[in-house]
Structure 1
Amino acid sequence: MSESGAAAGQAPGLRELKKRRTYAAISEAAIGLFLERGFDAVSVAEVAAAAEVSKPTLFRYFPAKEDLALHRFADHEDESARVVTAGGRAGVGALDALERHLRERLAARDPITGLCDDPRVLAYQRLLYGTPSLVARLFVYTRRSEAALSDALGGDLRAQLAAGQIVVVLRTLAERNWRRIEEGESADEVEAAAVAAAELAFGQLRGGLGL
């Protein structure tokens, strides 16, 4: 669930905290079942039972079964937009802010960058990329991420084109990192190449986008 649920600068209230806990609990129960038995072999009713909620409650939080497995991406879908907005307030250019943020997340081994060799993260990524319906649903999240970033960049055609390119670059870098780790390298072994690839990618973006 996006951080936008709470007003900027304010701690979430008890009701919002309860909603977030329920949201996370349902998804974690679902992912546990999906990892154990496979996405297609688990029903929504089984997820609801495991999370101890009713099906109508589950669907209030997750409109589609695929969303149960993708809440981790939902948490990040406006991340680039927030980074650009915060950078703008501090007088930092959009690409500089995004590259700095990516480097920080690489150093932190954030799973969203693909540079994470935690076995649980790798199992989740195998589930995601090995399930066609999840890959297809991920496209919805990607489009929302593009729209949010486009708005942060100004919302015109130039911003839309830039947002699309930036989102593709970030996804490509993450998938490249994940595939190298999946093939047997550790995150520590991949890190230098991941940082170099990020530098190359943002250099190309600067040359083509002029942001």
Structure 2
Amino acid sequence: MTAGLRELKRRQTRQAISDAATRLFLEYGFEAVTIAEIAIAAQVAKMTITNYFPRKEDLALDFHETFRGSLAAAFGSRREGESALAGLHREYLAAVARHDALAGFCGPDFARMVLGSPTLGARLRELHEQREEALAAALAAETAAPAGALTPRAAAALLAAAHRTLFHHALDLAAEGRTNRQIAATLSAATDEVFGLLGPSLADYAVRTAA
């Protein structure tokens, strides 16, 4: 088997496991479903599941790897003349426009499952913290801040808090049964409101200059 075919098979297996787990979680609740039951539904061995998903929570929150680095990636993609705040604001609005799961978009059943699970709630808090840390590291590197500097960490905390607030607002709206289109309309206004609060502190921080 060629490397390309192996990678395709790997992606297909991972997706099949994720799909089977999601179906069971939505039907029975996250806490009630076991890895053994997911293995039977996906027709794979239990060890195969743990090879792809070391933590059960990440079967439900399958975006965890991308989520951790999402704010740092948005910061890195800002345009010339854009501050960290402006770049992340623009990128978040773009995520809202495409109904991105990283911005909290999901179906009502999935949102209720997440909000009703203490385990998933704890994992989400951990993921939010990890992406804040990744953003702080990116800010420190780009601004050439000295080791231990507080400004990149404080700026990352404020920017991550804005994203966390909007993410959970999207979850709440989804759980209420709002459509993605309705959620996007509400979030667009909320995004401007929340990011606007940070303007006095961060409007001129980490502005990208010409290469």
TM-score category of the 2 structures, normalised to the smaller one: 0.7 to 0.9
How does the TM-score come out when normalised to structure 1? 0.80
Is 2:167 aligned against 1:167? no
Task: Pick one of 99, 123, 127 that aligns with 2:89.
Answer: 99
- Residue 151 of structure 1: aligned partner: 137
Secondary structure of 2:49's counterpart equals helix
Percent sequence identity is 38
Higher relative contact order, structure no. (Cα contacts within 8 Å, ≥ 6 residues apart): 2
Following superposition, the deviation at residue 78 of structure 1 comes to 0.9
Secondary structure of 1:71's counterpart equals coil
Is 2:120 aligned against 1:108? no
Q: Distance in 1 between matches of 2:99 and 2:5?
A: 31
Gaps of 5+ in 1: 1-11
Q: Give the total of aligned pairs.
A: 195
Q: Distance in 2 between matches of 1:98 and 1:192?
A: 18
Q: How does 1:185-196 map to 2 (within 5 A)?
A: 185-196=178-189
Q: How does 1:16-27 map to 2 (within 5 A)?
A: 16-27=7-18
Task: Pick one of 112, 125, 146 that aligns with 1:126.
Answer: 112
Q: Distance in 1 between matches of 2:174 and 2:50?
A: 35
Gaps of 5+ in 2: 142-148, 206-211
Task: Pick one of 63, 70, 76 that aligns with 1:79.
Answer: 70
- Residue 54 of structure 1: aligned partner: 45
Which amino acid counterpart does residue 118 of structure 2 have in structure 1? Answer: P
Question: Superposition RMSD on alpha carbons, in Å?
Answer: 2.4
How does the TM-score come out when normalised to structure 2? 0.80
Moved more, 37-46 or 187-196: 187-196
Larger radius of gyration: 2
